[in-house]
Amino acid sequence: MENALTLSAILNKAGCNYLVYDLSRRVTEIPNAQFEAVENNHQPYPFPIQQQAQLGIAFWQAGQEPWIWFLKMPLDERGLLNQAALGDFIQFVAQAMGATLDKTPSEAEREKLANNPYTFSPSDDKKAMFHARLTVCLQQPASQYYDHAQHYTGGELGWEQWQGVGLQGLADLCARMGKHDNLPRLKKALSNMPDTPKYALLGCLEHCELPDSLASRLDEQIDTLLADTEIDLFLLTAHVRALSGADRNRLSVRIQNLLSKVELGHKELLIAIAGRCWHVLDEPELLDRFLVSVAACDDAKFFRQIVADLVMIPELRPQLLGLLHGNASPTLLNAVNELQKTVKSNND
């Protein structure tokens, strides 16, 4: 039976247009029909993290500016939306704004609605990319920081003159990489900018689908980092996260390559693979190899956290449950056994 108390039902009844984005892993649009299916528990949430759905919802009526909710909702053990929590949030909406959303909320109403346990503040890069993607979808102008970001990434201001470049400007540029000659600017900037602004740019690229030429530039930079005698693990990890929007085959080959290097088995890199590159882990051999690397960290709590996070992802759940119930390689079984021995030894 359809749930009459859903956000989509309320928004539709109020005559609002709305857009929904996942903010849990990568900033990804969730089609309205899929969001409605999730709300009605017809399917699990597609991109969970830490047993939560983190959402950005923009809604508006004709001629009005969008109003935005950033929401986090708990999921059950099957990855379905917790209906009690959803109903609870809807009660907050009703108490703050009345029965409908067909008027612009006052400051008092906004403040009252914001004061509930289901709103959250996304990380700066996710928030910037959400706003950038939203303005593209609504055919609105980019932010006031866009022009400056274009000039900087084009090399016109000098690469050391990055202090005035806004994160929102970089996000606007990434969201419009197919326009205004932005793709050559991005490739040029990646090859020349100092590490501090590069981290910001890479953080935006994590949430973008990458043209092959840009993915190739990132791949080249990863190779350069790997060739250093002392690898900058954090900068390497930032590049790997940014590569998550590359062609699937390119990304899969790169992850295999990284996992083959024992010296790179650092938690930071493994978290990046699980958090941003999870979609290639549906390859059984790659998932098996990844879990071997996680087990090799010799931290049972970390292993459990990674497994508990990945098993909630609908595409990975069958493979992961299969591995955990006897279909794992001898290498993975041995790694898990060794991990269990370490835990037992520490507890004795």
The Cα 161–Cα 22 span in angstroms is 34
Give every strand in the sheet of 17-22, ordered side by side: 28-30, 17-22, 52-60, 67-74
> How many separate domains does the chain show?
2
The pLDDT score that the predictor gives to residue 166 is: 96
Q: In this structure, is residue 235 part of a structural domain?
A: no
Cα angle 158, 161, 162 (rounded to 5 degrees) comes to 120
What stretches in the chain show pLDDT beneath 70? 1-4, 97-106, 109-110, 340-348
Over the stretch 212-264, which tens digit does the pLDDT of each residue have?
Answer: 999 999 999 999 999 999 999 999 999 999 999 999 999 999 999 999 999 99
Q: Assess whether 56 and 131 both reside in one domain.
A: no
Q: Assess whether 51 and 106 both reside in one domain.
A: yes
Q: What residue numbers bound the domain in which 19 lies?
A: 7-114
Considering only CA atoms, which of 305, 298, 306, 303 is closest in space to residue 341? 298
The Cα 168–Cα 130 span in angstroms is 10
Q: Assess whether 152 and 173 both reside in one domain.
A: yes
Q: Assess whether 108 and 144 both reside in one domain.
A: no
Q: Assess whether 86 and 24 both reside in one domain.
A: yes
Q: In this structure, is residue 276 part of a structural domain?
A: no
DSSP state of 59: E
Q: In this structure, is residue 201 part of a structural domain?
A: yes
**Category of 298 on φ-ψ map: left (φ > 0), alpha (ψ -120 to 50) or beta:** left
The pLDDT score that the predictor gives to residue 63 is: 83
Find the farthest-apart pair of alpha carbons in the chain and give their distance in angstroms, rounded: 68
Q: Output b/e per residue, 73-110; b: 16+ Cβ within 10 A.
A: bebeeebbbbbebbeebbebbeebbeeebeeeeeeebe
The pLDDT score that the predictor gives to residue 165 is: 97
- State which of 64, 94, 114 marks the end of a domain: 114
**Contact criterion met (CB below 8 Å) for 177 and 214:** yes
The pLDDT score that the predictor gives to residue 322 is: 85
**Contact criterion met (CB below 8 Å) for 182 and 208:** no
Q: Locate all alpha helices (DSSP H) within 138-232, ordered by sequence.
A: 146-153, 167-175, 182-192, 195-205, 212-227
Q: Assess whether 22 and 82 both reside in one domain.
A: yes
- State which of 189, 205, 221 marks the end of a domain: 205
Q: List phi, psi (to 5°) of 53.
A: -105, 125
Q: Please tell me the total number of residues recorded for the chain in this structure.
A: 348
Q: Assess whether 169 and 152 both reside in one domain.
A: yes
The pLDDT score that the predictor gives to residue 94 is: 79
Residues 6+ apart with CB under 8 A from 227: none
Q: Assess whether 135 and 186 both reside in one domain.
A: yes
Q: Assess whether 53 and 90 both reside in one domain.
A: yes
**Structure tokens given for 277:** 């590159």
